[in-house]
A and B are shown apart, each in its own frame.
Chain A
Amino acid sequence: MLVISNVSKNYDNEKKAVDNLSLEIKQGEIIGFIGPNGAGKTTTIKMITGILAPTTGEIRINGKDINKEPVEAKRNFTFVPDHPTIFDGIRGIEYLNFIADMYDIPEAVRQERIERFTKTFQIYTALKDSISSYSHGMRQKLLISGALLPNPKLFILDEPMVGLDPQSNKMLKDIMKEHCKNGGTVFFSSHMLEVVENLCDRVAIIHKGKLIACDTLEKIKQKNDTSLEEIFLEMTKDE
């Protein structure tokens, strides 16, 4: 579903934010992408989603190169960023209709999905309100609802749990599992290691722009019989 091949990103021809990263994610998997602050997680996600172009390397989503066939590639995924900065001069329902029109979702389908997701995240009654009146968590829920509308093959989330209340956190995790059960794929970054530990089929660890591990939790634990937190701290320790 997602193939990242030898991708690097340099800023100002000097700092290497991502260094020769390769990763393959299969359909139906939930992958947790973890790493310390400044490790290159968000840069990698920005490159996957087409916000940034890689300096070298290639990223394919469902076989489509994000840089060569961006529209075809983008039809296969949706994205929830780490900070819910969206244009907030419109009402919640307008935002969701905007997203639905961008992904060409028929009216009957969009109505059913909008109602389902927004009721799940308890923002249905706020849909008539302007987004500018939403709290951080409500914006996050709106963004997640919008990203789920097209029923994407690949669901990409950057730190999705930040700002969500415990109920919504649980609901999001359930939705992610259900999405994969129905044939979808989830790729998300997080600092919440226990979430990654409990939810993911595989874990990818990035440190200083390099992918230092990518495997199932069991295999990673086989090498070091301890918690993911301990392993993560050990792997990302600065010499």
Chain B
Amino acid sequence: MNKIIALSKIQLKEFFSKYQSGMNIKNKELGKLLIVGLIVALLMPMYQISSLLYRSFYQAGYPELTVTYMYLSTAFIAFVSSIPLVISVFFYAKDLKLLATLPISENTIIYSKLSTIYVYTLGLSALMMGPSVFFQIYYGGRLLSILTGILAILIAPIIPILAAMLMVVLMMRFFSNKGNKNMLTIVGNIILLGFIVGIQLVMVRLQMRPEVIQEMLGKEGGLLRLVGYRFPPSIWLTNMLQGSVVDTLLFIGLNVVLLLALSIISRAFYRKALQAYNVEGSRGFGKGRLYYKRQSVGHQLIKRHIKIILHNPTFFLNTFLSLFVPLLMFGISFFTGEMTMEVFRQPAMAPFITIIYSGILATPAIIGNISATVISREGKAFWETLVLPITPQQNIRFRVLSTIVINLSASLLLGAAALLIIPANPLQIFISAALCIAITLLLATADIIVNIKRPFLNWSNPTAAVKNNLNVMISLGLRVIYGGFLFLLIRILSLSMDTTVILIAAVSLVFWIVVRSMLYGRFTKEFTNIQI
């Protein structure tokens, strides 16, 4: 068998088996069913969006723009998803040591590794672009459209993957020289976030300046340019589906040129980037002094759990970025002018101040479900705390406390920032703080039960421990159910806003006591039986 095919097959098998094991579902049939369900769940909205877009663009006289629009979205999402995949497949892969010793070219290694990312993004592009291409073919009715449509889906992932790879390599070169590998992921994700926010801002500003849109519509092919001006290949792709030979050549040509370019730089990429990055045992230059200070067991354990998050870029980003989402959203909304400082100062808003402020304070606890992976995050180092002379209750308690410390710190910062724009009085602040504490206690305690039931310790990549882990989804599901319960309760009782917040805090405290007794009862037993 061709070496590149053989290697790609192994890479793909490993990638998907890791993905499946990352879902931590013991029943294989259930796992398959879940994947099918996930595909259907993703395909349905894509079909609806494409159908809606097709009808809109058809009315404007440009039905072909459905594909342009969907291709743009696909390219953007594929680019975004490719960044962590490139980092994971190239820079956190453990197989490079073995691959480096095999009699295969650097090109083979790089292309086989890229194949896993390609297959993943191909699935994504088929899901996203598939329905729009289907409409184009169905209503276009030409044989050529079918061929070019299939070709378009097959080629669509190449540009985003290579763009992501280029970006990662450039960052990696920089941070590898600086001697801080983990900064790559952190800075990479922050840049990515900035990129997303930047696009949002550009779009909002464009909407606020309609003359730019009018000008573009006035030109020949104006609407097409308007939709595709951010990314010319989308225009070539659309015209390719329309039968334009020149645009077909441009679109396919660009992809071929990019692949050739990759082939040329792959040797340098392999030698100067991958190999350099994967050098082990490099001595750091430790700072600080040697100390022998005594600290309490609780202090040490909480410090350990927080450091596990801080040390690992995936855990760090997953925890801290999600904790500060409200701050980011506020920032964007204010910057774009969608929200003003005066909004919260209007008399009509007065009754809602407590509930809005409570919501902001409780956000870290609601969306930062970090306890759901607190055991999994330790991975194979989980044995360490098991052999220490501490009780299982202590072991669990300090894990929960770590989450509470992180969440409440974030709530404090958010609360202080929110006070700059929200005119909450001391009583409202007190009530909101009570709700925040109650919700934080309840959710941090409930989340660790999820992780005790579904510990996932044998991961090779931290991304698997968090992102692919269904625990996070289950924990979010619990929030939805609890939120639904509270909503019903509030609807039935129909109290004033302030009383509602007090009621939610009280109910959450009662639930916390119940969940806590379950955690330190039967779930502590399950904790001691976690198999390493």
Contacts and interface: CB of A to CB of B under 8 A. Distances in A.
Interface of A: 46, 49-53, 70-72, 74-75, 78-79, 81, 83, 85-93, 97-98, 100-103, 106-107, 110-111, 114, 126-130, 132-135
Nearest to A136: B281
Contacts of B178: none
Interface in B282-324: 282-297, 299-300, 304, 307-308, 310-312
Given A128-B286, A129-B286, A107 B388 contact: no
B378 interface: yes
B387 A79 contact: yes
Interface string B380-401: 1101101111111000000000
B290 A106 contact: no
Nearest to B282: A133
B529 A102 contact: no
Contact of B300 (A75, A91, A98): A98
Given A97-B292, A133-B283, A51 B386 contact: yes
**Residue of A71, A72, A87, A101 contacting most chain B CB atoms (<10 Å):** A87
Contacts of A87: 304, 307-308, 311, 378, 381, 384
Contacts of A49: 386-387
B2 interface: no
Given A101-B295, A106-B294, A135-B281, A91 B389 contact: no
B328 to A, nearest CB: 26
30 contacts: A53-B529, A70-B392, A71-B391, A74-B387, A74-B389, A74-B390, A78-B387, A85-B380, A87-B304, A89-B308, A89-B310, A89-B312, A90-B304, A91-B286, A93-B291, A97-B295, A98-B304, A100-B292, A101-B295, A101-B296, A101-B299, A102-B389, A103-B389, A107-B292, A110-B294, A126-B283, A127-B290, A128-B286, A128-B290, A135-B280
B494 interface: no
B526 to A, nearest CB: 11
Contacts of A135: 280-281
A71 B389 contact: yes
A89 B307 contact: yes
A89 B180 CA distance: 13
Given A91-B286, A132-B284, 5 more contacts: A87-B304, A87-B311, A88-B381, A102-B297, A129-B283
B532 interface: yes
A51 B383 contact: yes
Contacts of A132: 284, 311
Closest 10 CB pairs of A and B: A89-B311, A128-B286, A129-B286, A133-B284, A74-B389, A135-B281, A111-B292, A85-B380, A75-B389, A87-B381
B531 interface: yes
Contacts of B381: 85-88
A70 B286 CA distance: 36
B517 interface: no
B300 A107 contact: no
B244 interface: no
Given A97-B291, A128-B286, A133 B296 contact: no
B499 interface: no
A128 B284 CA distance: 9
Contacts of B333: none
Contacts of A78: 387
B340 interface: no
A155 to B, nearest CB: 12
Contact of A114 (B292, B380, B384): B292
B207 interface: no
Given A50-B386, A71-B391, A87-B308, A101 B529 contact: no
A71 B283 contact: no
A46 B308 contact: no
B528 interface: yes
Contacts of A51: 383, 386-387, 532
Contacts of B310: 89
Contacts of A98: 300, 304
Contacts of B288: 91, 128
A129 B281 CA distance: 12
Contacts of B283: 126, 129, 133
B391 A101 contact: no
Contact of A128 (B287, B304, B386): B287
B287 to A, nearest CB: 7
A172 B490 CA distance: 66
B318 to A, nearest CB: 15
Contact of B384 (A86, A93, A133): A86
A98 B532 CA distance: 22
A53 B386 CA distance: 11
Nearest to A71: B389
Nearest to B294: A107
Contacts of B299: 101
A101 B291 CA distance: 13
Contacts of A88: 311, 381
B283 to A, nearest CB: 6
Interface string B267-286: 00000000000001111111
Nearest to A83: B380
Contacts of B304: 87, 90, 98
Nearest to A79: B387
Nearest to A75: B389
Q: Which one of B288, B300, B381, B387 has the highest number of Cβ atoms from chain A below 10 Å of its Cβ?
A: B387
Contact of A129 (B284, B289, B296, B387): B284
B300 A101 contact: yes
Interface string B493-532: 0000000000000000000000000000000000011011
Contacts of B389: 71-72, 74-75, 102-103
A101 B302 CA distance: 13
A70 B311 CA distance: 30
B292 A46 contact: no
A107 B292 CA distance: 6
A81 B287 CA distance: 29
Given A101-B294, A107-B293, A114-B292, A130 B286 contact: yes
A74 B391 CA distance: 10
A79 B285 CA distance: 29
A133 B179 CA distance: 11
Nearest to A92: B286
Contacts of B289: 128
A203 B280 CA distance: 37
| Residue of B286, B293, B392 with most chain A CB atoms under a 10 A cut-off | B286
